[in-house]
Structure 1
Amino acid sequence: MARAIVHMDLDTFFVSCERKTNSQLIGVPLIIGGGDRGVVASCSYEARVFGVRSAMPVKMALRLCPQAKVMKGDMELYSRLSHEVTEVIKEKAPIVEKASIDEFYLDITGLDKFFGCYKWTDELAQSVTKETGLPISFALSVNKTVSKIGTGEAKQKGNLEIPENKVKPFLNPLSIQKIPMVGDVTFQLLSRIGIRTIQTLSEMPVEVLQQMIGKNGIELWKKANGIDNNPVEPYTERKSISTEHTFVHDTIDVHKLKAVLSGMVEKLAFQLRSEQWLTSTVTVKIRYANFDTETKQCRVQYTSADHILTKTVTDLFDKAYQRRMRLRLIGIRFSGLVRGTYQINMFEDTEEMLSLYQAMDNIKNRFGYDAVMRCAGATFKPNNKDEILKRKL
């Protein structure tokens, strides 16, 4: 039996959320992002006509579309509406994977016996729009890769169904940039040797591709040929991530304690960005040599940026550590998590800061977490009791 995998994507999600709460924004070129030195988190189709796109500096976007309205963005609103959409989909679909704040995969294999998979999915999409007021696009195909690529095309052509016998004809003429794992670097590398369409990539010897790109070459070749056996993972929402560090010898050295905290924040923030989470609540725990324990907690704007979280953790530590007594343990917890499709808080941070985080994360992903870090946190060496706790609903 051929699989039936649906990819659903909320159209210009941040923009749609703002227009849901303020109908006067309908039809207006809209940019969601930071100030003059910030970057575009999302933009309306009216702004895209002028060449505005996500991750572009706001200053450049306004030069392209000076009449656009710039809004800071409200992650609490977006998170709440995303949760509403999730509940509608979970109520009706047998298996749901929430890929990001505005993307979902559904495995509806077997429903064609009762309803017809496309008809069932179309009715679900209509239910989402009716119950939440948010437009949503979808594509139905035999695996996650083809359905995701299909959704991108569906936003221009209408919702798509791509059966198994039409996968190759559908993929072949498209640009290799449509494949989810192809970034700018890979695109430029392949373009230099004349590989610009998925068909050309699919016909390339897999061994040559592996030599050029490395271990991802085989996976890329499979995707170009419409092969993807990855399952739809049932949706579960994480509540928090945390880490604790127990010192071998109790210490009163505040400089050392703050250096360790800085390293712990950097580690957890990298994990947030890697898994596409943003946190809104920060908690610091300390345990004295006599086992007395103190905790301090505060709310922050949704973020996954080290520099914001480090300052917050340091301030909480200063409030919690009020006795001149040695400490045996310190801990940090980030909670109130929401899915975020961006690596840092693009509503506040500058283009330069975004580039810095992306460069550091790329190095960490390629060479390991310890490959690059801030000097302040370089003294942090996890011991056997240091553990990241993953709590799920």
Structure 2
Amino acid sequence: MVQPITYIAHFDLDSFFYSVEVLNNPELAGKAVIVGGSRERGVVTTCSYEARKFGVHSAMPMKKAVELCPHAILVRGSHGQYGKFSKWVTDIIASKAPKFQKASIDEFYLDLTGMDKFFNPFQWTIELRQLIMDETRLPISFGLASNKLVAKIATDEAKPNGYLFIQHGKEKDFLAPLPVKKIPGVGTHTLSVLNEMGIELIGDILRLPKNELENRLGKWGLELWDKAQGLHHSTVSEWREAKSISTENTFETNTNDVEFLLSELIRMTERVAFELRQDEKLAGCIAVKIRYPNFETTSKQTTIDYTFRDDEFIPVAKDLFHQLYKKGTPVRLLGVRLSDFANITMQGNLFDDVSRKSNLYKAIDNIKLKYGKNYLAKGRSIK
């Protein structure tokens, strides 16, 4: 039986948070704008393309971003608006696409396989993009290809506010001239190793024996070789209500500074706990993930009494970290995940000292919603 040609579209809202800020304040259009924390604290959430010209990028420390682009306009962010616009785009896609996956607040994968029997998938995707822009006034780019990997890279190449179709059989031709860092997962460490091997472009990977990459990078080397050929087998998962809330941070430089790692762990735990409360949920399970420079990844989870409180999540997260961490070993990535949700009305330890603590968290969350998630933070999370 002949397998149908696969069509996977990747949609990505361009500089999403900045674009929403422009809708709220049109005077920001065309200017160097950085959305994030203050000049001294926090990280860049997103920025305008005018700021990117100076080297600013998401996840960069705000202090460094301001040094690179001192004339930039700093915006803390209208966090409630981001969820509203994300849901708006999600609803439009859900009303049109036969199967889609919401990968993040501003990123979507659509499986259009089989649609070519009825109409042109490329033209259909162009029309869906136009519908989203007409209704929301947000710029959005897409890539259309035979799999999620190539579609995502095509979207990056189409930005800002464009689209690109990589036809079947042309994947290697498209990827070969691109810098190797365009492959998702190629971070600072991997890029350094590849450059030492004389690899700068994706096409350079295919000139090396597959086992040479495996010798230098292990299983990741084998995966990288497949990706360089445009091979990728991850499928589009049907979008459902989130079963977990998580956040991860891949550090610009691998670090074994335990005090720094713990401060990041606290910051991330505060973040997921805040999101949990906004969803009006309690969590009964918390997990911590650590990834080392060789891509060895370990995680550990434990059940807890249902809660939404930072001060109850943080000690457990720190204990899981100490159980997992190999002392003295640099860390590449740190992550925290909450799961096993229950409605916030469920009784439990949540309502011990309910009036004082619950009112405190309500006050904290109101401040964060007004001024941004990073406006208030525990002292231990500031390094």
In structure 2, do the counterparts of structure 1 residues 348 and 201 end up closer, same or farther at CA, with 3 Å as the change threshold? farther
Partners of 2:207 and 2:344 lie apart in 1 by 50
Number of the residue aligned with 1:242? 284
Whole-angstrom distance in 1 between the partners of 2:72 and 2:62: 10
1: CA distance, partners of 2:320 / 2:118: 46
> Is residue 2:9 matched to residue 1:6?
yes
Structure 1 window deviating more from structure 2 (6-15 vs 152-161): it is: 152-161
- How far apart, CA to CA, are the structure 2 residues paired with 1:41 and 1:268? 27
- The normalised TM-score by structure 2 is 0.68
Quick one: which amino acid aligns to residue 162 of structure 2?
G
Matched, 1:223 2:223: no
1:264 aligned onto 2:306: no
Q: Whole-Å Cα distance in 2 between the matches of residues 46 and 296 of structure 1?
A: 49
1:62 is displaced (CA, Å) by: 2.3
CA positional deviation for 1:55: 2.1
Asked whether 1:25 is paired with 2:38, we answer: no
**Mapped pair 1:182 → 2:182:** no
Match of 1:55 in 2: 59
Task: Flag the 1:156–1:260 CA change in 2: closer, same or farther, 3 A.
Answer: closer
Residue type of the alignment partner of 1:12: S
Question: Which residue does the alignment assign to 2:369?
Answer: none
Residue identity opposite 2:50 in structure 1: E
Q: Distance in 1 between matches of 2:102 and 2:57?
A: 24
1:162/1:170 contact within 8 Å kept = yes
- Relative to structure 1, is the Cα distance of residues 153 and 349 closer, same or farther in structure 2, using a 3 angstrom cutoff? farther
Please say which of residues 192-201 and 143-152 is displaced more in the overlay. Answer: 192-201
Partner of 1:106: 110
CA deviation after TM superposition for structure 1 residue 91, in Å: 0.7
For the residues of structure 2 that align with 1:102 and 1:141, how far apart are their CA atoms? 19
Matches within 5 A, 1:144-223: 144-155=148-159, 158-223=162-227
String of CA shifts for 1:291-329, please: whole Å, max 9, x gaps: xx946779xxxxxxxxxxxxx9xx45999xxxxxxxxxx
The within-5 A match list for 1:192-341 is 192-238=196-242, 240=281, 241-243=283-285, 244-245=303-304, 262-266=314-318, 273=335, 286=348, 294=351, 315=357
SS where residue 165 of structure 1 aligns?
A: coil
- The code of the aligned residue for 1:124 comes to L
1:7 partner SS: strand
CA gap of 1:22–1:211, structure 2 versus 1, over 3 A, is same
Match of 2:93 in 1: 89
TM-score by length of 1: 0.67
**What SS does the corresponding residue of 2:159 show, helix, strand or coil?**
helix
How far the C-alpha of 1:157 sits from its partner, in A, is 8.8
Post-superposition CA distance 1:317-354 (Å, at most 9, x none):
999xxxxxxxxxxxxxxxxxxxxxxxx9566669x958
Return the alpha-carbon distance in structure 2 between the equivalents of residues 40 and 141 of structure 1: 30
Q: CA deviation at 1:113?
A: 2.0
Q: Is the 8 A contact 2:100 2:237 kept in 1?
A: yes
Q: Which has the larger radius of gyration?
A: 1
The Cα of 1:141 is off from its aligned counterpart by: 0.3
Distance 1:192 1:112, change over 3 A: same
Kindly provide the CA deviation profile for residues 107-163 of structure 1, in whole angstroms up to 9, marking residues without a partner as x: 001112222011000000011111111110001000000000000000159310001
1:15-64 alpha-carbon deviations (Å, 9 max, x no partner)? 00111111121122110010122221110011112222222222332232
Unaligned runs of 5+ in 2: 244-280, 286-302, 325-333, 362-371
The answer for unaligned runs of 5 or more in structure 1 is: 247-257, 288-292, 299-311, 320-343, 357-393
Highest RCO, 1 vs 2 (Cα 8 Å, sep ≥ 6): 1
Equivalents in 1 of 2:319, 2:102: separation in Å?
24
